[in-house]
Amino acid sequence: MNASVASAAHAGTPPRPSAKDKRRNAVMTTAPHLRPAHEQVAALTSRKISSRQLLELQLKHIEATNPGINAIVTLDVERARKEADNADRHIARTGKPRGPLHGLPLTVKDALETAGMRTTCGSPDLKDHIPDQDADAVARLREAGAIIIGKTNTPAYCQDIQTSNAVFGTTKNPHAPGRTAGGSSGGPAAAVAAGLTSAEVGSDLAGSLRLPAAYCGVYTLRPSYGLISTRGHIPRLPGWLTSSDMTTLGPLARTPADLALLLDVLVGPSPADAPAWRVELPGPRLSRLRDYRVGIWADDDYCHVDAATRDLMNTVTGLVRSSGAQVDAATRPVSMPESDRAFTNLMYATSTATTPDAVFQGEVEQADKLAAGDTSPGAIYLRARTQRHRDWLIANEAREKLRQRWAQYFTQHDILITPAAPTAAVDDQTSVPVQQRFITVDGAKRSYYDQTTWLNLTSQVRLPSAIVPAGRTADGLPLSIQVVGPYLADRTVIAVAAHLAQLLPGPIGPAELRR
């Protein structure tokens, strides 16, 4: 830690950016299309730049940069230009913006339905699907004044933790083309990291927002479950009104302020509930980092992290302590093995809703033939997929008891910090059959799905969880942490992310952002 950061952190106040930081930020944000979303909105509403001008700069950058990354898979340029011109005419005529995202060009994950714009969710079955209605979240973006210019890549039906599909191919990590961008929101995270869009909206069931954000070095928030309507998110299939009981939609961005900006727009009741329901999220619990009671869960025997991540967690722990915050690095909210088993059971169960009848019947028949003592991964999968409703009710009760333990933990702590993943971005394995994939942690082969074990601590229990870029490996790959808060304390989580951003290295801009 350099002297200026150490001194300011010890005093309990956010450190002032150094001259070097100011020069770096000036370089990274000189071009209007590479500025954070909240700065772009301010420039648009003050008429320092027109929406059409910003759009054209964005499109030029996409044309030059996207072919090497393959993050954006669909663009609707003609419609975007018309909407940008309309936004400019509106503010020229009235002097007022249409909403908090007036004239802002954005992309969204290709799992979210967009009226009149192709939505495939990476599946050949939907390669020609053009919805006639926006997903509720997309509608809220448009109502706030955003211009949806295109869609970003996702694995087919969001069913992988890296991003590749037969329709559009593989999305590359902007920091290292041979590494995965993560999944299933790999396209959104890579697009934000490379400056192809200032912010994005993706989805998260089993870390699908948070793993890509960690691997690509950007911020994201998995909001408290239920705050944002998921109607129009695929999967479920087009036309379904319901979604998984663990899926949430959330923002990705290059600053915590932009997470807050998009959260304010996205949160709200579904259209059916809007006549009577209101959502009023509480503000941050505290105004200064030094006043927080911070839990640190740096490692666990169940899912060990690698040396670089251990060093990162040690650094973060030291910085939080030096801020004056009360740090507890010993207690744990829950047992990680118990939590992971409960999550896996519920995840496999919720994934069956749109399984074809014949396929599901085959799984039922296979499950019925399993030996009583068979605890292999395949047996666990089949039993969870085909469990009776009574079994699901018991599993849901176990989830509620876990939620109760987390709630009790947050009576003694304001926030919890964990690793985001065991390692930085792993090698892309799209050419390897799923059952043969693995990751390596300090030289040891580990399960491919260990990548999301830390993230899935909160997926089933509905807690807000943010990814905060926190450093880099020796070879320049982003490293990140996860910040978890109590249910509905989303603004607290974002506030802590902003406090930590003052102490930690900023997001690593790929070459495209450093020009």
Active-site annotation, residues:
109, 184, 208
Q: Please give the residue range of the domain that contains residue 355.
A: 336-398
* Same-domain pairing of 301 and 340: no
Comparing CA positions, the residue from 51, 73, 57 lying closest to residue 188 is 73
* Same-domain pairing of 355 and 443: no
Instruction: Tell me what pLDDT residue 341 has.
Output: 96
Instruction: Tell me what pLDDT residue 31 has.
Output: 92
Q: Is the predicted pLDDT of residue 3 greater than 70, yes or no?
A: no
**Mean pLDDT along residues 340-361:** 94
Instruction: Return the bridge partners of 251, or none.
Output: 201
Residues in the chain: 515
Report yes or no on 120 lying in a domain. yes
Q: Is the predicted pLDDT of residue 273 greater than 80, yes or no?
A: yes
Instruction: Tell me what pLDDT residue 509 has.
Output: 66
Report yes or no on 403 lying in a domain. no
Q: Is the predicted pLDDT of residue 280 greater than 60, yes or no?
A: yes
Q: At 3, phi and psi to the nearest 5?
A: -60, -40
Instruction: Tell me what pLDDT residue 354 has.
Output: 87
Q: What is the pLDDT of residues 125-147, one digit of tens each?
A: 999 999 999 999 999 999 999 99
What does the alpha-carbon distance between residue 351 and residue 346 come to, in Å, rounded to a whole number?
Answer: 9
* Same-domain pairing of 429 and 475: yes
Instruction: Tell me what pLDDT residue 128 has.
Output: 96
Q: What is the CATH number of the domain that holds 250?
A: 3.90.1300.10
Report yes or no on 15 lying in a domain. yes
Instruction: Tell me what pLDDT residue 512 has.
Output: 46
Instruction: Tell me what pLDDT residue 169 has.
Output: 98
* Same-domain pairing of 99 and 192: yes
Q: Is the predicted pLDDT of residue 21 greater than 50, yes or no?
A: no
Q: In a 3-state reduction of DSSP, which class is residue 248?
A: strand
Report yes or no on 48 lying in a domain. yes
**Mean pLDDT along residues 282-288:** 97
Q: What is the pLDDT of residues 290-316, one digit of tens each?
A: 999 999 999 999 999 999 999 999 999
Instruction: Tell me what pLDDT residue 12 has.
Output: 35
Instruction: Tell me what pLDDT residue 511 has.
Output: 54
* Same-domain pairing of 216 and 242: yes
**Mean pLDDT along residues 92-109:** 97
Report yes or no on 488 lying in a domain. yes
* Same-domain pairing of 225 and 352: no
* Same-domain pairing of 362 and 436: no
* Same-domain pairing of 191 and 326: yes
- Domain end point (choices 355, 370, 398): 398
Report yes or no on 433 lying in a domain. yes
Q: What is the pLDDT of residues 454-478, one digit of tens each?
A: 999 999 999 999 999 999 999 999 9
Report yes or no on 125 lying in a domain. yes
Instruction: Tell me what pLDDT residue 22 has.
Output: 43
Instruction: Tell me what pLDDT residue 79 has.
Output: 98
Q: How confident is the model at residue 513 (pLDDT cuts 50, 70, 90)?
A: low
- Domain end point (choices 367, 398, 429): 398
Task: Please say whether the beta carbons of 434 and 514 come within 8 A.
Answer: no
Instruction: Tell me what pLDDT residue 321 has.
Output: 98
* Same-domain pairing of 383 and 467: no
In sequence order, the 6+-apart residues with CB closer than 8 A to the CB of 44 are 50, 51, 54, 87, 91, 97, 102, 103, 104
In sequence order, the 6+-apart residues with CB closer than 8 A to the CB of 237 are 354
What does the alpha-carbon distance between residue 99 and residue 233 come to, in Å, rounded to a whole number?
Answer: 24
* Same-domain pairing of 135 and 201: yes
Report yes or no on 282 lying in a domain. no
DSSP 8-state assignment for residue 428: P
| Helix axis angle, 256-266 to 37-45, nearest 10° | 70
Does residue 290 or residue 4 have the better pLDDT?
290
Q: What is the pLDDT of residues 392-445, one digit of tens each?
A: 999 999 999 999 999 999 999 999 999 999 999 999 999 999 999 999 999 999
What does the alpha-carbon distance between residue 421 and residue 455 come to, in Å, rounded to a whole number?
Answer: 7
Q: What is the pLDDT of residues 208-262, one digit of tens each?
A: 999 999 999 999 999 999 999 999 999 998 998 888 999 999 999 999 999 999 9
Task: Please say whether the beta carbons of 186 and 154 come within 8 A.
Answer: yes
Q: In a 3-state reduction of DSSP, which class is residue 34?
A: helix
- Domain end point (choices 354, 374, 398): 398
Q: How confident is the model at residue 505 (pLDDT cuts 50, 70, 90)?
A: confident
Question: In total, how many domains does the chain have?
Answer: 2
* Same-domain pairing of 119 and 251: yes
Q: What does the block give as tokens for 23?
A: 């020069």
* Same-domain pairing of 506 and 369: no
Q: Is the predicted pLDDT of residue 446 greater than 60, yes or no?
A: yes
Q: What is the pLDDT of residues 138-190, one digit of tens each?
A: 999 999 999 999 999 999 999 999 999 999 999 999 999 999 999 999 999 99
Mean pLDDT of the chain: 93
Q: Is the predicted pLDDT of residue 23 greater than 80, yes or no?
A: no
